[in-house]
Amino acid sequence: MHDSGQNSNKYDWGLTASHFPALPSGVQDFLSLSLSESTKRSYRADLAHFEAAGRILPASPSDIASYIAEMAGHYAVATIERRLASLAKAHRTRGYDDPCKAELVKSTLRGIRRSLGTQQRQAAAILRDDLFAMLDKLGDHRPKDIRDRALLLLGFATAMRRSELASLDIDDIEFIPKGMLVILRRSKTDQEGQGRKIAVPLGRTRHCPVTALKTWLDMLERPSGAIFVCINKHGHILQRRISGEAVSLVVKTRIANAGYDPKPFSGHSLRAGFATSAAQAGASTYKIRQTTGHRTESSLSRYIRDTDLFTDAAITRLL
């Protein structure tokens, strides 16, 4: 039984009501929430790419091996691995055998890794001095400047991902005498919504994230709703929440205005910049992880960029 002729956007992902029509509606509702919408979108996009290559489900191991071999050299290894995981999920949720487990597929992927390597292109880190250079170019009166100042400082101080920044609501902020607490209700690694709090102390420099956010919220003049919203070309503040892509655009625009080449930077640059700058300043990895949310030091290490390889290098003690 093939799924040909069906649109990949209509496929069910995870266990849904269509798999168990006899279950009570309450159970069906929770099944529909077993995957986040962003995860479902990624799965759909990956399956659409597979179908656009002239292939259908269920696929054989040789189909899958040919597919990933065709992608080699055109896509990053991480992208190939993600699409492979999506195809495995697509087969399992439809009751098919998973062809991605076959040794033929595994060996092909190992060959791709050995040929291309697995190091991912990383977004350049926006370090503290880089951030200050960006902020110094912002004005103090235009709504877009005030919003972007708050966004950049809050993104750096909390090390949030761009989607997390975009999803923040006014109710997620608690101002206290020492600064503010930011409640992150859901994240990429917390799909069940347990949430956590990030402490942001009052700044000691001219660029204080607490002051910047208060200034922006005063301009918003609303008690609830999204913190970071769109602003039109006339400077009018809209009701619509910004997207994660808009966060990246703010970063690229502001880093370019500060005289940097914007190409290596993205919304992830603030998160990487916080981790790297904090490590350079001597903060313990435990305290850094309290902010970033990384559970292990090994996972954190990928976010600390190699900007200080010459600092106290071992060879300086020898030659």
**Crossing angle of the two packed helices 269-280 and 244-257, in degrees rounded to 10:** 60
Confidence of residue 153 (pLDDT cuts 50, 70, 90): very high
Confidence of residue 7 (pLDDT cuts 50, 70, 90): very low
Reply yes or no on whether 188 is catalytic: yes
Number of helices (H) and strands (E) in the chain: give both, helices first. 13, 5
Domain segments of the chain: what residues?
A: 8-116, 128-301
d(CA 282, CA 284): 6
Answer whether 0.85 is exceeded by the pTM.
no
Q: Which of 44, 91, 252, 294 is catalytic?
A: 294
310, pLDDT greater than 60:
no
Residue 305, classed as helix, strand or coil, is coil
Q: Does CATH place domain 8-116 in 1.10.150.130? A: yes
d(CA 176, CA 241): 26
Reply yes or no on whether 254 is catalytic: no
d(CA 285, CA 300): 8
Q: What are the structure tokens assigned to 4, written together?
A: 């040909």
Reply yes or no on whether 303 is catalytic: yes
Query: In this predicted model, what pLDDT tens digit does every residue of 19-58 receive, in sequence order?
Result: 445 556 666 566 555 666 777 788 888 999 999 989 999 9
DSSP-based helix, strand, coil % in the chain, nearest 5: 50, 10, 40
Higher-confidence position of 61 and 14: 61
Closest by alpha carbon to 291, among 158, 182, 173?
158
Q: Any idea which residue has 């972007």 for tokens? A: 148
Q: Which of 147, 149, 252, 271 is catalytic?
A: 271
d(CA 292, CA 303): 10
d(CA 242, CA 267): 13
Q: Which of 91, 162, 268, 305 is catalytic?
A: 268
Q: Is the distance from CB of 299 to CB of 289 less than 8 angstroms?
A: no
- Fold entry, domain 128-301: hpI Integrase; Chain A (1.10.443)
How many other CB atoms are found less than 10 A from the CB of residue 316? Answer: 9
d(CA 43, CA 168): 25
d(CA 153, CA 228): 13
Reply yes or no on whether 75 is catalytic: no
Q: Which of 161, 207, 254, 305 is catalytic?
A: 161
Check residue 2 and give its pLDDT.
Answer: 42
